[in-house]
Amino acid sequence: MAIILLDTKTINRIAAGEVIERPASVVKELVENAIDAGSSQIEIEIESGGRNLITVIDDGNGIEKEDLELAFMRHATSKLGDRELIEIKHLGFRGEALPSIAAVSRMKLSSKASGAEEAWSIRYEGGEKIGELMPCSLSQGTHIEVRDLFFATPNRLKFLKSERAETQAIVDIINNLAMINYRIGFTVNSGNKKLIKYAKQESLFSRICEIEKEFQENALKIEEEEDGVRLTGHICKPTVNRGKSDMIYTFVNGRPIKDNVLIGAIRYAYHDLIPSDRYPFAVLHLEIPYDQVDVNIHPNKSEVRFQNKRLIYEIVRRGLIKTLSKRIGSPAASDVDELGMTEKIVRSAAFDTREGNNELINNIKNREEKNRKEFYERRPSSVENRLIKEFAAPNIGEKGLSEGPGLFEMQKLASQKETMAKEERQVSLIESHPLGFARCQVYNTYIIAETLDKLVVVDQHAAHERLVYECLKQKSSIKRQELLFPEIVEIKNQAGMEMVEIYKDKLFEMGFEIEIKAENKVIVKGIPAILGPIDVKEMLTNIVDRLTEIEDTLPIEDKVNKILAIIACYGSIRAGRKMNLEEMNELLRQMEETPNSGQCNHGRPTYIEMKLSDIEKLFERR
């Protein structure tokens, strides 16, 4: 067959195959154009998942009459200036969307350029212009209708999913674009159903809360910077997680993108805090100098290439870990109201010089950094010994307060003086500690504590498990305890024995002394001291089972952490054990000192809070 040059119509249809995959791609391209045009309100309407009709109306700067036809030519764009492909600041730059959409649908574009007297419209069907430019009535911006998508390339229609799935894809695209373009108002209607209505917002955080309510009460602020790369955004506490990754939004220079480096860094930061099959909530924006990132590597511009992947990974990982390991009650540990504590302090010192403010922030940051360092560097003696001493002995709490007299009776029993001293101590605990003073234990499982303005309920097992785990993580410092009577443990299968052989040395570092005795038997001579009296057989079997389960690809560090988590679970105060007031308060103080203690190793919360003001509301006192 002879070689021929393809005509424009065919070229456009082929190109459309790349850019326009499904109705959501049309919506994405048109809305990006509307954003690039400086719009403040964008309205989208669809019918049957965008297959029959997509309308996008904006109030942007419009298109001049003489540019209308040009806009539909391939590689025609108003967005690439002198700096060409180096500084790509607009969402669009390829000049492909309008001709591609026009090639596979029936399309009408009406527009009024800002400053122009009249609005004009132009029509295309299957890539061919229909009729001449027509004057039309439009007060501002651009109005685009795309009907009968893919009528000209019916093969594509077969690949479309159900109406519901296509509609959802459109909603997802809009959520992504709306998130980062929070100053713009968005609506999406399908038939007569309102799917989205986002008001114009002043801050990213307000938009995040519009899209996902979970952030309202659970957000933590992210800020990190290095070498001109700036990371900002908000994540949720680990207790808020989901089976899908759809609550992870990542943006690079204002552009929604999907990238494995970013997802990897985010998941790494949370790997200790939520189960491996769950995903966190995160909205992150990376601002990278334009010459260090290539946005022109994907036809629909949803992927980018970073010049320095390592740096990007590090910034994201570090930024998140820093925030996630902040202590309970520490200034910026939560930013529910966008104005984090740190900022509040700065605002109230508004008459300070700028440098003064920075110094203040730096002081707070340094203090947190120092606290965190101290925790990890501390000799095992302090926290570890306290954990062993206070909680490892079975049921010290028997004679505890929870069983004995209540606070009220105690006052009657104790001498006047003692009571007063105690009260003083309580008041100071209530005032100076974020988790307050433990009042009692209920159901032998939960600790009820009081702070100045909150009621705190702690899950004793979950909380202690986290403390033991964090303590164990200072690997070098795990103390071993020789067993008086070494235990012989039978390992059922070959794979299990292999695991013992492979991990024997690692387990030794973690406090276990294990010898292989026969083909299917091992002797356990020592266990981590922190554990106290436990069922050695059951725990070792559990560890071996888990090791056989874990897929080989998991990095060694993750495997070790998994084992530590099992140990922590065994070593922790069980639910159902009585505790006395002293023990309870000791646990609260340790929680305040330990990073990550807001949730247990399984991502469940270790404590919940109820604001006094909310309680008052319930009783209609407010």
Give Cα separations from 540 to 32, 470, 472, 503, 536 (angstroms).
57, 20, 17, 12, 6
CB of 93 to Mg ion, least distance (A): 8
Give Cα separations from 397 to 401, 459, 534, 571, 580 (angstroms).
8, 16, 18, 17, 5
Give the whole-angstrom CA distance, residue 72 versus residue 201.
33
CB of 22 to Mg ion, least distance (A): 17
Total interface residues for Mg ion by CB under 5 A? 3
Beta bridge partners of 145: 55, 108
CB of 89 to ligand ADP, least distance (A): 12
Closer CB to ligand ADP, 59 or 384, in the complex:
59
Cα-Cα-Cα-Cα dihedral sign, residues 437, 442, 447, 449:
negative
Residue among 77, 105, 325, 590 that touches ligand ADP (CB under 6 A): 77
Give the whole-angstrom CA distance, residue 225 versus residue 340.
18
Closer CB to ligand ADP, 30 or 333, in the complex:
30
Length of the chain equals 622
CB of 43 to ligand ADP, least distance (A): 12
Q: What are the tokens at 518?
A: 């026969």
Single-letter amino acid code for the residue at 541 = T
Residues 129-148 that bind ligand ADP (CB under 6 A): 142
Closer CB to ligand ADP, 78 or 187, in the complex:
78
CB of 228 to ligand ADP, least distance (A): 27
Give the whole-angstrom CA distance, residue 87 versus residue 85.
6
For tokens 């089976």, the residue is 243
Closer CB to Mg ion, 142 or 175, in the complex:
142
Q: What are the tokens at 304?
A: 């980018």
Helix axes 260-270, 309-324, angle to 10 degrees: 30
For tokens 């299990």, the residue is 496
Contact track, ligand ADP, 153-192, x by CB under 6 A: ----------------------------------------
- With CB under 6 A as the contact rule, which of the stretches 59-67, 252-260, 531-539, 588-596 interacts with ligand ADP? 59-67
Strand order in the sheet with 437-442: 437-442, 446-450, 454-459, 607-611
Q: What are the tokens at 185?
A: 């108002």
Single-letter amino acid code for the residue at 280 = P
| 441 interacts with, out of Mg ion, ligand ADP, none, CB within 5 to 8 A per kind | none
Residues 25-44 that bind Mg ion (CB under 5 A): 33
Closer CB to ligand ADP, 91 or 527, in the complex:
91
Residues 461-500 that bind Mg ion (CB under 5 A): none
CB of 33 to Mg ion, least distance (A): 4
Q: Which residues contact 20 (CB under 8 A, 6 or more apart)?
A: 26, 29, 100, 101, 104, 149
| 77 interacts with, out of ligand ADP, Mg ion, none, CB within 5 to 8 A per kind | ligand ADP
| 58 interacts with, out of ligand ADP, Mg ion, none, CB within 5 to 8 A per kind | ligand ADP
Total interface residues for ligand ADP by CB under 6 A? 22
DSSP 599: B
Closer CB to ligand ADP, 58 or 586, in the complex:
58
CB of 97 to Mg ion, least distance (A): 4
Rounded (5°) CA angle 435-458-280: 95
Rounded (5°) CA angle 381-382-387: 95
Indicate whether 58 belongs to the interface with ligand ADP (CB under 6 A): yes
CB of 12 to ligand ADP, least distance (A): 11
Indicate whether 97 belongs to the interface with ligand ADP (CB under 6 A): yes
Burial of 152 (C-beta count, 10 Å sphere; 0-12/13-18/19+): buried
Residues 20-49 that bind ligand ADP (CB under 6 A): 29, 33-34, 37
Give the whole-angstrom CA distance, residue 158 versus residue 551.
38
Closer CB to ligand ADP, 140 or 606, in the complex:
140
Give Cα separations from 340 to 221, 476, 610 (angstroms).
8, 36, 20
Q: How many CB atoms lie within 10 A of CB 610?
A: 12
Give the whole-angstrom CA distance, residue 622 versus residue 614.
9
Please check whether residue 296 is in contact with residue 262, taking contact to mean a CB–CB distance below 8 angstroms. Answer: no
Closer CB to ligand ADP, 127 or 319, in the complex:
127
Contact track, Mg ion, 78-97, x by CB under 5 A: --------------x----x
Residue among 62, 127, 511, 603 that touches ligand ADP (CB under 6 A): 62
Q: Which residues contact 299 (CB under 8 A, 6 or more apart)?
A: 18, 19, 94, 96
- With CB under 6 A as the contact rule, which of the stretches 90-98, 350-358, 387-395, 466-474 interacts with ligand ADP? 90-98
- With CB under 6 A as the contact rule, which of the stretches 89-97, 196-204, 221-229, 485-493 interacts with ligand ADP? 89-97
Q: Report the residue number whose CB is nearest to Mg ion.
A: 92
Helix or strand or coil: residue 294? Answer: strand
CB of 143 to ligand ADP, least distance (A): 9
CB of 59 to ligand ADP, least distance (A): 10
| 93 interacts with, out of ligand ADP, Mg ion, none, CB within 5 to 8 A per kind | ligand ADP
Q: Which residues bind Mg ion (CB under 5 A)?
A: 33, 92, 97
Q: Which residues bind ligand ADP (CB under 6 A)?
A: 29, 33-34, 37, 58, 60-63, 71, 76-79, 92-98, 142
